[in-house]
C-alpha cells in the first residue's frame, strides 16, 4: 500500500481521501481549514497537517482537489507548498478542474524537482465521490499514470489516460461543454411539459429510454420538477469551468456558441441568488421568465 497525501477536503476531496484509507493506504491530509482536516483524521484515522508541505513530506502520491488555478498554485508552490515537501519520484495527481495552462506550468515544475505530474480531473459529482465511482480523465506521462492508477481505483470507476500533460483537463472541458447544452435542453423540455399540462415524471418515464435520454434526465428530472436545487454541482463552479472552456476555445479556435449562451444563462441564475444551486437550476430561470 502507498503513502498518500490528500490536499483539499471539500465535498469531493473529503470522501475521496476516506476511500484511500479504506483501500489500505496511509493518508496525510491538508485543508485550508485545519479544523476540517482534524475532523477528517478523527473520522478516518489518518493524520492532519497545517501546511501542504507537511502533508506531502514522504508521500509516494500527492492527491489534490481544490477550487481553481490560484488555489492549485497556492497548495503546490511556496515555502509551505507541497512541492517543497515532495520527495524525488513522488507522483502529484491533480483532481482539480483547472486550465491546461496551469497544468503545464506545474507539471514542468514538478519534473524539475524530480517528481511526476498527472492531471486527473473528475466527473460524477458528490455522490460519485461518496460512492467511490468517479470518472477520472487523465493526462501525463504513461509511467506516472500507470503508477497512480491503482491508487485512484480507491474512488474511481473509469480511469483513462487521454494523452500527455493537459489532456485530462482538455477532456474535462469537453465534458462540461456537453453538459451545459444537455442541461439547457432538458430544462426547456421539462418547462415545456409543464406549460403543456403534462406530468414531468410520466413524460420522462416514457422518453428516458429513447434518444432523448441522458444521465441528467434520469438523475435530475424529479428534483427539477420539485423546484429543489440544494444539492449537486454548484452554478458558481460550473461558470468557473465554462470560463476555462471559453478561454481555451479562444486559443484553439473552436466555436462554442451554445456554451457561451448557457454561461450567460447561468449568470442569470446567479442573479436570482442561485450561485450555490445545482446546475439543473437552469429551469428555474425559465420559470422566472414566465
**Any bridge partners for residue 158, and if so which?**
135
pLDDT of residue 111: 98
pLDDT of residue 239: 98
Q: Which residues contact 251 (CB under 8 A, 6 or more apart)?
A: none
Spell out, as residue ranges, where the chain has pLDDT lower than 70. none
The set of catalytic residues is 172
In tens, the pLDDT along 143-161 reads 999 999 999 999 999 999 9
CA pair distance 269, 32, nearest whole angstrom: 28
pLDDT of residue 231: 87
Helices marked H in the chain — which ranges?
A: 13-22, 34-44, 52-56, 69-76, 82-85, 100-112, 125-131, 142-152, 167-195, 200-207, 215-225, 235-252, 257-271, 282-289
pLDDT of residue 226: 97
Q: Which residues contact 209 (CB under 8 A, 6 or more apart)?
A: none
DSSP 221-264: HHHHHTT--SSSSBHHHHHHHHHHHHHHHHHH----HHHHHHHH
Going from the C-alpha of 76 to that of each of 19, 102, 148, the distances in angstroms are 23, 11, 18
CA pair distance 107, 109, nearest whole angstrom: 5
Q: Answer whether 229's CB lies under 8 Å from 277's CB.
A: yes
Q: Answer whether 34's CB lies under 8 Å from 42's CB.
A: no
pLDDT of residue 8: 98
pLDDT of residue 287: 96
Q: Answer whether 206's CB lies under 8 Å from 138's CB.
A: no
CA pair distance 165, 160, nearest whole angstrom: 13
pLDDT of residue 1: 87
Helices marked H in 98-166 — which ranges?
A: 100-112, 125-131, 142-152
Q: What is the pTM of this model?
A: 0.94
pLDDT of residue 165: 97
Amino acid at each position: 500500500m502507498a503513502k498518500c497525501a490528500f490536499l483539499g477536503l471539500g465535498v469531493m476531496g473529503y470522501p475521496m481521501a476516506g476511500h484511500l484509507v479504506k483501500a489500505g493506504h496511509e493518508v496525510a491530509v491538508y485543508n485550508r481549514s485545519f479544523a476540517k482536516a482534524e475532523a477528517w483524521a478523527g473520522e478516518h484515522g489518518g493524520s492532519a497537517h497545517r501546511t501542504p508541505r507537511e502533508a506531502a513530506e514522504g508521500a509516494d502520491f500527492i492527491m489534490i482537489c481544490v477550487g481553481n488555478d490560484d488555489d492549485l498554485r497556492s497548495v503546490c508552490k511556496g515555502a509551505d507548498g507541497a512541492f517543497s515537501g515532495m520527495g524525488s519520484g513522488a507522483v502529484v495527481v491533480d483532481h482539480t478542474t483547472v486550465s491546461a495552462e496551469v497544468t503545464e506550468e506545474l507539471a514542468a515544475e514538478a519534473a524539475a524537482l524530480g517528481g511526476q505530474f498527472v492531471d486527473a480531473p473528475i466527473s460524477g459529482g458528490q455522490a460519485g465521490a461518496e460512492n467511490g465511482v468517479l470518472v477520472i480523465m487523465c493526462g501525463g506521462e504513461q509511467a506516472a499514470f500507470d503508477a497512480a492508477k491503482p491508487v485512484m481505483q480507491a474512488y474511481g470507476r473509469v480511469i483513462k489516460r487521454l494523452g500527455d500533460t493537459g489532456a485530462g483537463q482538455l477532456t474535462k472541458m469537453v465534458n462540461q461543454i456537453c453538459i451545459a447544452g444537455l442541461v439547457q435542453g432538458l430544462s426547456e423540455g421539462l418547462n415545456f411539459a409543464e406549460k403543456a399540462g403534462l406530468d414531468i415524471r410520466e413524460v420522462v418515464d416514457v422518453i428516458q429510454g429513447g434518444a432523448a435520454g441522458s444521465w441528467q434526465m434520469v438523475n435530475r428530472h424529479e428534483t427539477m420538477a420539485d423546484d429543489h436545487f440544494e444539492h449537486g454541482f454548484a452554478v458558481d463552479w460550473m461558470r468557473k469551468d465554462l470560463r476555462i472552456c471559453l478561454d481555451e476555445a479562444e486559443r484553439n479556435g473552436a466555436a462554442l456558441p451554445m456554451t457561451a449562451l448557457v454561461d450567460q444563462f447561468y449568470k442569470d441564475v446567479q442573479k436570482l441568488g442561485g450561485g450555490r444551486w445545482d446546475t439543473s437550476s437552469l429551469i428555474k430561470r425559465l420559470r422566472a421568465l414566465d
